């Protein structure tokens, strides 16, 4: 990619959750890296504590890539999430398309919008399991990438960044 778009800067993204991953991306010519899942497991991330705990407890094999599972309000956007009851029941039903999925449109709880309004959260709709989710997160989309394999704790974002920098520097030194 770097050779194809140069001199445009390239940010590596996907599957990077630690300093070693950043070092590998930089060694391949990327100018930076984008991390998502690692920072969800930070003290500051505005997500449900159980969501953070599940990221720490999961491995790449606990995630699923789907083209249209959580498409309510966001059609045509493939995504990766932690496997949960919504995923398991959808697979057990033969992975039916939108409009034919188990429990489609039923309420999975309530959530607060950015505006502050509290609304019913419909099964298969996009959204984030925030701390206000009251009815459990077993049916919520739990956005997470395969990098969850290297996410082993929840800590302050500043500490995560310091660890990433330290480990990326060590990784780059080792690659010399």
pLDDT tens string 29-38: 999 999 999 9
Mean pLDDT across the chain: 93
Q: Please report the pLDDT score of residue 145 as a whole number.
A: 96
The answer to which of 40-49, 89-98, 106-115, 143-152 has the lowest mean pLDDT is: 106-115
Has residue 135 got a pLDDT over 90? no
* Structure confidence at residue 133 as a pLDDT band (50, 70, 90): confident
Domain boundaries, the chain: 1-42+155-176, 59-143
Q: How much of the chain exceeds pLDDT 90, in percent?
A: 77
E strand or H helix at 66: strand 63-66
Q: Cite the DSSP H helix spans in the chain.
A: 2-5, 19-27, 37-40, 49-57, 85-92, 157-175
Q: Please report the pLDDT score of residue 1 as a whole number.
A: 86
Residue 172, number of CB atoms within 10 A of its CB: 16
Residue 27 corresponds to which tokens in the numbers above? 């060694």
Alpha carbons 160 and 130: distance in angstroms, whole number: 21
The answer to which of 22-26, 80-84, 86-90, 117-121 has the lowest mean pLDDT is: 117-121
| Cis? peptide before 7, omega within 30° of 0 | yes
Residue 128 corresponds to which tokens in the numbers above? 């984030």
Average pLDDT over residues 138-159: 97
Average pLDDT over residues 133-144: 89
Alpha carbons 15 and 72: distance in angstroms, whole number: 25
Q: Please report the pLDDT score of residue 12 as a whole number.
A: 95
* Structure confidence at residue 134 as a pLDDT band (50, 70, 90): confident
Q: Please report the pLDDT score of residue 42 as a whole number.
A: 98
């Amino acid at each position: 990619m770097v050779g194809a778009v140069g001199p445009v800067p390239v940010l590596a993204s996907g599957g990077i959750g630690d300093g070693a991953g950043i070092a590998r991306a930089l060694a391949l010519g990327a100018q930076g890296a984008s991390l998502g899942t690692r920072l969800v497991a930070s003290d500051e991330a505005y997500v449900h504590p159980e969501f953070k705990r599940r990221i720490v407890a999961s491995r790449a094999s606990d995630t699923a890539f789907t083209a249209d599972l959580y498409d309510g309000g966001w059609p045509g956007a493939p995504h990766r999430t932690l496997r949960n009851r919504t995923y398991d029941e959808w697979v057990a039903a033969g992975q039916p398309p939108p409009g034919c999925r188990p429990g489609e449109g039923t309420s999975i709880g309530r959530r607060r919008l950015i505006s502050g309004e509290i609304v019913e959260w419909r099964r298969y709709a996009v959204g984030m399991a925030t701390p206000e989710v009251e009815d459990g997160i077993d049916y919520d989309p739990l956005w997470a990438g395969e990098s969850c394999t290297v996410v082993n704790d929840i800590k302050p974002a500043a500490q995560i960044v310091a660890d990433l920098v330290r480990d990326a520097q060590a990784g780059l030194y080792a690659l010399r």
